[in-house]
């Protein structure tokens, strides 16, 4: 195994880092990459369209046989060190780190001299999802064969940690405003230079979207009274996006970033005078008193006890669509996709109908799995015709039956079955909770309660293997990270309030067929097959793909991986799966977030084949580990599988403080800096081989 090397260069000299210095990039890239190329595909219709890597690629027939990649790498061992470890024969380099400049003429990053205006021009904190788009829209995505062999990278930033950002954190006004600017999305120009991935500060595509960037609210909830504020009486404009975790990308070349745990930014629910609004915010766990961040002391819109803040939480928890090709475009919050603690927005098309399906989870214990199906159809030859496809459609929530079947329940007031159930949901004063479809979208979690959806063990990433044109094969995988609150099937407890205590939410707490372990400390992955292999179908079958944990654990251990007495997987133990990706050889790549809560080693990335004979355990291998205290986020494979991107989030999180952090000083040996890392084989071969 080898650990990541830090380039022996002066990081103050951007040209020496290969940033903005190369004027003949196509020639350099041709020489360094040679005849290796990315799979062909139009940027308007392929995984290369919306990104260098699709959320997953499946191949069939002889094409699959020719491209099948055995996972022949040597598994790395369990590691608790402050380093990024990859297998022998691989190398890794930091592409970009928190604080690196995105625009020319900027000074080197200095944590002692931070400001909001400066942070708004630098790579943000705690990077999460990574997506990459061909620089020239509509161009085939072959490296070294085009005049534009570089790519637009979008990376979102989930949250900030003040004690790790500032040497002396006091929650001052300047620090709070800087934290707000460290949220959102970074857009940059990425490319291979002399065999290494780098980025270009001179690119016109570089952009920062932050917690204060103006954004448009679209879809059924736009203009609703609950989304109006004194600063925005129209209810159609909001400042910023917060807590962006995972997301997706579309066949028409846009980036989707999910707003997840937005509740942590708001405060003082108890001061709200409208009891129904207070209950709405309680459903989304807005604190009754101060927030831990204390942003409400600096910015009034984060204080629900003030007129500026009472409706502000309604304006977060949405899916945000960004056009990376137009730096002047305004991001859009698509309210037709529902409001909850979004994780993922995986797009799959269905042949014949060309309707768009987007899968998403609500990343909280005892919450639900969703999918959105567009009313309109995708047009592969007209990008403009697709730009508002996510504004109209049907949002569904999943119910998993014990017999391995399931149904998608339409969250639609006009549906003959769902409509009456939604209409029957009331506030304690007897007022109907859902009077319009906009109300359903604004309080989607409570709508899922009304329809009897299945509460799951933290549904995080949902990914569908798709081909280069985004057409799926009817499969979809759900990553359930963990749920220590799940009780054993033999428990005498019948109900629990789950994550939304005190709102009258009575749900089953005991283990069930789809969530078979109580407590579920290490998580599991479910495979879903849509009826008729149609991603727009309203019914499906499902099976548990694997239970994460320790294959060597005793059958009585909470982390055992047995299903009906047989081991669900063999190989390297791991816990808390978070995000997944697929390669062109039919393998799943599993990133973890929380392994150290179960085992004494760092989080990492694991690989497993998708095609395993029925009844046989899935063989799992550990491919890499991230530094101490860090989470392994946003795994992204290039279509030819010659490169892999990993977002290393919150290194050293378990110890507060920047210069006093004794857990991590990765990647530069100074203080912890969340970073995007690029991994390649030293011989240029496929990742995993």
* Tens-place pLDDT, residues 607-620: 999 988 878 999 99
Domain count, the chain: 1
* Lookup: tokens for 96: 């970009």
Question: pLDDT of 408-454, one tens digit each?
Answer: 999 999 999 999 999 999 999 999 999 999 999 999 999 999 999 99
Question: pLDDT of 449-493, one tens digit each?
Answer: 999 999 999 999 999 999 989 999 999 999 999 999 999 988 776
Taking residues 42-48, what's their average pLDDT? 30
Cα 348 from Cα 219, distance rounded (Å): 21
Q: Which domain holds residue 232?
A: 2-87+98-105+118-241+248-260+317-681
Taking residues 135-164, what's their average pLDDT? 73
Q: Which comes out higher in pLDDT, residue 511 or 70?
A: 511
Tell me the whole-structure pTM to 2 decimals. 0.90
* Lookup: tokens for 144: 């070294």
Cα 685 from Cα 516, distance rounded (Å): 40
Contact status, residue 184 vs residue 211, Cβ threshold 8 Å: yes
Residue 221 has pLDDT above 90, yes or no: yes
Residue 9 belongs to a domain: yes
Residue 293 belongs to a domain: no
Residue 570 belongs to a domain: yes
Residue 376 belongs to a domain: yes
Which pLDDT score is estimated for 509? 84
Residue 286 belongs to a domain: no
Which pLDDT score is estimated for 139? 57
User: How far is C-alpha 628 from the geometric centre of its chain's CA atoms?
Assistant: 21
Contact status, residue 269 vs residue 281, Cβ threshold 8 Å: yes
Cα 283 from Cα 286, distance rounded (Å): 8
Predicted confidence band of residue 29 (pLDDT cuts 50, 70, 90): very low
Cα 654 from Cα 638, distance rounded (Å): 32
| Cβ-Cβ contacts under 8 Å for 591 (sequence gap 6 or more) | 577, 578, 579, 580, 603, 604, 605, 606, 632, 633, 634, 635, 646
Cα 179 from Cα 210, distance rounded (Å): 9
Residue 687 belongs to a domain: no
User: How far is C-alpha 280 from the geometric centre of its chain's CA atoms?
Assistant: 25
Which pLDDT score is estimated for 495? 56
Contact status, residue 222 vs residue 237, Cβ threshold 8 Å: no
Cα 316 from Cα 134, distance rounded (Å): 30
Question: pLDDT of 542-577, one tens digit each?
Answer: 999 999 999 999 999 999 999 999 999 999 999 999
Which pLDDT score is estimated for 334? 98
Residue 252 has pLDDT above 80, yes or no: yes
* Lookup: tokens for 578: 């978070």
Report the share of the chain in percent with pLDDT over 70: 87
Q: Among 157, 166, 176, 167, which residue's Cα sits nearest to residue 116?
A: 176
Question: pLDDT of 51-61, one tens digit each?
Answer: 333 333 333 23
Which pLDDT score is estimated for 57? 34
Cα 229 from Cα 400, distance rounded (Å): 39
Residue 173 parent element (H or E):
helix 173-181
| Cβ-Cβ contacts under 8 Å for 531 (sequence gap 6 or more) | 537, 538, 539, 540, 541
Which pLDDT score is estimated for 490? 84
Residue 340 belongs to a domain: yes
Residue 280 belongs to a domain: no
Sheet containing 643-649: order of strands: 90-97, 675-681, 643-649, 631-637
Q: Which residue has the tokens 């050889």?
A: 585
Taking residues 321-336, what's their average pLDDT? 98
């Amino acid at each position: 195994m080898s650990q990541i090397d830090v380039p022996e260069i002066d990081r103050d000299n951007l040209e020496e880092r290969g940033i903005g210095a190369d004027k003949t990039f196509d020639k350099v890239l041709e020489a360094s990459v040679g005849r290796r190329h990315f799979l062909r595909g139009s940027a308007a219709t392929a995984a290369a369209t919306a990104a260098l890597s699709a959320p997953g690629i499946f191949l069939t027939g002889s094409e699959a046989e020719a491209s099948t990649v055995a996972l022949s790498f040597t598994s790395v061992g369990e590691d608790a060190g402050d380093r990024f470890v990859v297998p022998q024969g691989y190398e890794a380099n930091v592409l970009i780190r928190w604080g690196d400049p995105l625009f020319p003429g900027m000074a080197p990053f200095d944590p002692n001299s931070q400001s909001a205006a400066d942070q708004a021009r630098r790579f943000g904190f705690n990077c999460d999802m990574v997506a990459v788009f061909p620089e020239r829209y509509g161009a085939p995505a072959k490296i070294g064969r085009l005049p534009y062999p570089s790519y637009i990278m979008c990376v979102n930033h989930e949250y900030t940690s003040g004690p790790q950002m500032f040497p002396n954190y006091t929650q001052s006004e300047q620090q709070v405003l800087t934290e707000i600017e460290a949220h959102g999305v970074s857009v940059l120009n990425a490319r291979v230079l002399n065999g290494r991935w780098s980025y270009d500060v001179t690119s016109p595509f570089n952009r920062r979207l932050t917690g204060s960037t103006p954004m448009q609210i679209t879809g059924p909830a736009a203009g609703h009274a609950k989304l109006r504020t004194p600063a925005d009486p129209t209810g159609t404009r909001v400042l910023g996006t917060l807590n962006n975790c995972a997301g997706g990308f579309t066949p028409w070349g846009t980036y989707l970033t999910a707003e997840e745990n937005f509740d942590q930014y708001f405060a003082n629910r108890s001061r709200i005078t409208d009891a129904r609004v207070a209950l709405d915010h309680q459903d989304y766990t807005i604190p009754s008193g101060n927030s831990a961040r204390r942003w409400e002391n600096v910015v009034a819109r984060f204080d629900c006890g003030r007129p500026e803040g009472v409706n502000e939480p309604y304006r977060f928890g949405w899916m945000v669509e960004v056009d990376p090709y137009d730096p002047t475009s305004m991001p859009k919050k698509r309210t037709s996709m529902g409001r909850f603690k979004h994780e993922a927005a995986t797009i799959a098309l269905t042949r014949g109908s060309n309707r768009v399906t987007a899968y998403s989870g609500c990343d909280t214990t005892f919450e639900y799995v969703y999918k959105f199906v567009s009313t309109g159809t995708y047009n592969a030859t007209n990008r403009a015709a697709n730009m508002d496809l996510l504004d109209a459609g049907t949002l569904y929530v999943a119910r998993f039956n014990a017999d391995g079947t399931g149904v998608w329940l339409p969250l639609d007031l006009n549906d003959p079955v769902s409509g009456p159930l939604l209409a029957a949901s009331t506030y304690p004063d007897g007022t109907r909770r859902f009077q319009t479809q906009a109300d359903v979208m604004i309080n989607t979690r409570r709508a899922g309660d009304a329809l009897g959806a299945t509460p799951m063990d933290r549904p995080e990433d949902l990914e569908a293997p798709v081909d280069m044109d985004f057409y799926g094969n009817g499969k979809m995988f759900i990553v359930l990270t963990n749920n220590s609150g799940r009780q054993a099937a033999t428990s005498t407890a019948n109900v629990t309030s789950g994550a939304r205590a005190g709102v009258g939410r009575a749900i089953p707490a005991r283990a069930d067929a789809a969530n078979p372990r109580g407590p579920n400390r290490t998580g599991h992955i479910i495979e879903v097959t849509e009826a008729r292999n149609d991603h727009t179908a309203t019914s499906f079958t499902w099976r548990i793909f694997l239970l994460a944990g320790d294959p060597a654990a005793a059958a009585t251990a909470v982390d055992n991986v047995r299903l009906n007495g047989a081991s669900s997987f063999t190989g390297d133990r791991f816990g808390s799966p978070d995000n997944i990706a697929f390669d062109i050889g039919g393998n799943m790549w599993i990133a973890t977030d929380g392994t150290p809560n179960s085992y004494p080693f760092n989080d990492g990335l694991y690989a497993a084949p998708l095609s395993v004979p029925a009844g046989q355990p899935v063989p799992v291998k550990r491919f890499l580990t991230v530094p101490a205290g860090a989470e392994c986020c946003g795994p992204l494979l290039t279509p030819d599988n010659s490169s892999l991107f990993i977002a290393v989030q919150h290194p050293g999180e378990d110890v507060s403080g920047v210069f006093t952090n004794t857990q991590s000083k990765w990647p530069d040996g100074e203080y912890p800096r969340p970073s995007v890392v690029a991994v390649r084989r030293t011989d240029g071969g496929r990742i995993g081989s």
